[in-house]
Amino acid sequence: MARLDEFDEADDRAAARLDAAPCAVSARYDRRLGRVVVRLSTGLDVAFAPGQAQGLEKARPGDLAVIEISPSGLGLHFPKLDADLYLPALLEGLLGSRQWMAARLGQRGGKARSASKAAASRANGKLGGRPRKAAKVD
């Protein structure tokens, strides 16, 4: 009997979550804009470039033709890519896992060009450049 109470409590929490947050009612890829467009239950449309989302980085327009919405409306599934996005995270600007987002941020930082970065690179070069990796001996 306690097991049924736990399920009822979980159902109540899920219902409260769905009532408190917008959910997806439709999703499509707009080729003209080059964006995935998600219509929310509030009537608001949210759009993002597929290249900004984990699992969709290398997607072609044909890969984005079918987008499935989870029964709760909180998930988007791209069957041709076997990729999933969680709508609440998407609305917070998180388009992937923390590790994936950190790697993307690091890539951007590595591409940055500034006078101080150039000066540091020249100074490092004068010292012989990057140290060589030691060979592993087994």
The residue extents of the domains of the chain are: 2-96
How high is the pLDDT of residue 30? 96
Return the higher-pLDDT residue of 34 and 112.
34
How high is the pLDDT of residue 31? 95
**Mean pLDDT throughout 18-28?**
85
User: Which CATH number is 2-96's, of 3.40.640.10, 3.30.2020.40, 3.40.190.10, 3.60.10.10?
Assistant: 3.30.2020.40
Using one digit for the tens of pLDDT, what is the confidence trace for 75-128?
999 999 999 998 888 887 766 656 666 666 665 555 557 777 677 777 777 777
Out of 5-9, 28-32, 40-44, 111-115, give the one with best mean pLDDT: 28-32
Answer left, alpha or beta for residue 129, where phi above 0 means left and psi between -120 and 50 means alpha: left
How high is the pLDDT of residue 111? 57
Return the higher-pLDDT residue of 130 and 80.
80
By CB atoms closer than 10 A (0-12, 13-18, 19+), residue 38 is buried
Using one digit for the tens of pLDDT, what is the confidence trace for 48-76?
999 888 889 899 999 999 999 999 899 99
| Strands lying side by side in the sheet with 83-86 | 68-69, 75-78, 83-86
**What gap in Å lies between CA 104 and CA 127, rounded to an integer?**
30
